[in-house]
Structure 1
Amino acid sequence: MTSRKEHAMPKRVIVVGAGIIGASIAWNLAKRGAKVTVVDSGEPGGVATRSSWAWINASWGNPEPYFRLRMRSIAEWRQIESEVPGLAVNWCGGLIWDTPPADLDAYAAERAAWGHPIRRVNRDEILALEPTLREVPDHAYHVAGEGMLEPLAATQALLAAAQRLGAGILGNTPIKWLEEKDEGCTGVMTNDGVIHADEIVVAAGAETAALLDGVGITLKMSAPVGLLAHSKPAPKLLNGLVMTPGLHIRQTAEGRIVAGTDFAGADPEGKADELAADLQAKVEAMVRGAEGIGLDFHTVGYRPTPTDGFSAVGRPRGRAGLYVAVTHSGVTLAPAIGRFAAEEILDCRRDPLLTPYHPDRPALT
């Protein structure tokens, strides 16, 4: 006998936002058999995603629950690599000494107690890992399990994988508002009319708060700005990510050294050209062999961030057919958020790791 489940129609889901979070959610939903349409106001690939430093990590001042979520997502990245063609993560590891030594040691001890594979390295070990660095401290910390990727290429690979599973991708399609009926969301209004669905996932980065406000839902967010300098392509000079006081650097697959004052980049405050030139000068002073490679361009990105600094993922209470996914650790957290969102949307099962990060928590409403 054929079961009722086998007769059920695939759930229709619209994912608003084609950055790395929306792409991961779309791919996970399509893999589970949902009928998915991704809609973005610009070119698929997102806005914040394109300007990310693209560090996959579980580091930096987070409480233990967020650390656990990030570690789970790193594991999910390794799984996704085996399933999505063209999704190349460089598991290069990261060197860290960008805080005073006593603070750095305390941070490392805390993370080690949580099971983080962080290792103290001396000066000789630092230079063995990164032999082109001119000035290094007496000791730093190294995390071999961290990595980086090219954010736009990774997002496009996820979207292409979703398309191969039947998902539709609509770029340059602004959303005017979310359609409502009987206190539930039923679709999105575009310039070409309404697209209806059983579920609307808002993963629209900095545009998320305005779309939710249109249906009477408050989500307090900020969008800090950050500038990154991108050098002209150079021969291989760096093996991994390097985080020093006032300068974080990595080298892309095409040879560009990407630099920021920290991993998110500094607020250019109207002086973007000057700040980018200063960052490039610091790179060339720090990295042997980088002299004279020159600055190619800089990017200025706006990082969509719930006001308490943590992810907002889940169904706003009292609003059927609506799901929210917004975070500033998009590159790290995309795989876990994509998987957990698909499970909650299709199975009504919320992963315990998302418990602290409901969009209705008091800090955000």
Structure 2
Amino acid sequence: MSTAKQVIVIGAGIIGASIAWHLTKAGARVTVVSASGAGGIATPNSFAWINASWGNPETYFRLRIRAMAEWERLANELPGLPLAMCGGLCFDLPADRLEAYAAEHSSWGYGIERVGSEQAARIEPSLADLPEFALHVAEEGVAEPVATTQALLADAERRGARVVTGTVDRLTLSNGKVTGVVVSGESKATDEVVIAAGAGAPAIAATAGIELPIETPPGLIVHSRPYKKLLNGLVLAEKLHMRQTAEGRIIAGSDFGGGEPGENPQADASALFEAMKAMLRGADGLELDFHTIGYRPTPADGFPIVSRADGVGDLYIAVTHSGITLAPAVGLFAAREILDGERDALLAPYALSRFAQ
């Protein structure tokens, strides 16, 4: 493996941070460039659920379940990472659809337990209205998004990486290859560029003639003031997903990505917060602190783009909505592909070239 390759990673969210950390650990000379500093734009507004749930095809499930295992590996390699595999209690679908989902994912090896109201009460004793039927996955969890990103970048810097704050004006090219990045008017030469800039990725890629089919749907999430412990893990109820952060805030959205902000986001946030309080016993003193509206970088078909860019050399793209779940696997696989040319089979369906077919 090369120990001298220079790589500029554009984006300091969870995906960019993971790629930068894995590249640095493998011996590359890495510079991270971000206009917003550590954490990026989408990452601070993430619900931060680590899972392999939902109605995805088995190929995507396999990538996500591998990523969950890579979180455990990453936590062992970087002690103190704010990771909690706290489990998720899910009852946001009708019973027949929950059962169909459980049957399918159980057949794939997902650790789903079917629970009734008594078991649900033991898992989450503060729930005011207990479901008669729910699913519990003990291996699901959360990584506090900003703190995790900061920890990855800080350790990458300790290993020799540089983190630069600035606006990417454009990529520079020569003979069909990317040769560098112009950052706030200053040219920076490099051997390879990684675009991991989330919602900002299409504009940067366009300067190299690359079209990224990315959508950025908004999602509103409410954040309480820090409060006594009420939740043990993730609660995925109908039209309300919530969890309690490491600092005691309860955060919630109408789903894990947050719902549409509507014409009056403040009113919608207040209504969502009151619905959350109503679901919890012992929440009388819970107060709304603020709400966020995140813009989720989502490829047009809903699946990740993690690959080199066809037609332009020395340019790698990594954009996905499921940033928190996928981050450690994407970081590991991207570093291997960039430095050794080895593409992991789990990434096979997620090349940018699929959109040209």
Question: Does the pair score TM above 0.5?
Answer: yes
Give the structure 2 partner of residue 287 of structure 1.
280
1:157 maps to 151
Give the secondary structure class of the aligned counterpart of 1:360.
Answer: helix
Equivalent position of 1:267 in the other structure: 260
Q: Distance in 2 between matches of 1:347 and 1:161?
A: 23
| Partner SS state of residue 187, structure 1 | strand
Which runs of structure 2 are paired with 1:1-365 in the superposition (5 Å)? 10-171=4-165, 173-362=166-355
Deviation at 1:240, TM superposition (A): 0.5
Whichever residue aligns with residue 252 of structure 1, its letter is: T
Say which SS state the counterpart of residue 323 (structure 1) adopts: strand
The AA in structure 1 aligned to 2:257 is A
1:9 deviates by 5.8
Deviations along 1:220-279, one digit per CA (max 9) or x if unpaired, are 110010010001111000100000001001001111110100000011023211111111
Residue deviations 1:110-129, cap 9 Å, x none?
00010100110111000010
* Mapped partners of 2:155, 2:322: distance in 1: 22
Distance of 1:104 and 1:220 partners within structure 2: 32
The offset of 1:70, in angstroms, is: 0.4
Tell whether the 8 Å contact from 2:262 to 2:268 is kept in structure 1 after alignment: no
Moved over 4 A (4+): none
Amino acid at match of 2:336: E
Report the alpha carbon displacement of residue 192 of structure 1 after superposing the two structures with TM: 4.1
How many residues are paired up?
Answer: 357
| SS class of match (2:77) | coil
Equivalent residue letter for 1:284: K
**Higher mean displacement: 288-297 or 47-56:** 288-297
Instruction: Structure 1 unaligned segments of length 5 or more: list them.
Output: none
- Counterpart CA distance in 2 for 1:336 and 1:82 is 14
Are the equivalent residues in 2 in contact too, given 1:283–1:290 (CA < 8 A)? no
| Contact map agreement 2:208 2:312 (CA 8 A) in 1 | no
CA gap of 1:9–1:145, structure 2 versus 1, over 3 A, is closer
Assess if the C-alpha contact under 8 Å between 1:21 and 1:334 holds in 2. Answer: yes
Listed one character per residue, the Cα deviations across residues 312-342 of structure 1 (whole Å, up to 9, x for unaligned) are 0011112111000000000000000000000
Aligned amino acid, residue 323 of structure 1: Y
Encode CA deviations 1:32-71: one digit per residue, 9 max, x unaligned: 0000000001122111000000000000111101100000
Q: CA RMSD in A?
A: 1.1
Unaligned runs of 5+ in 2: none
Q: CA deviation at 1:292?
A: 3.3
Equivalent AA in structure 2 for residue 76 of structure 1: E
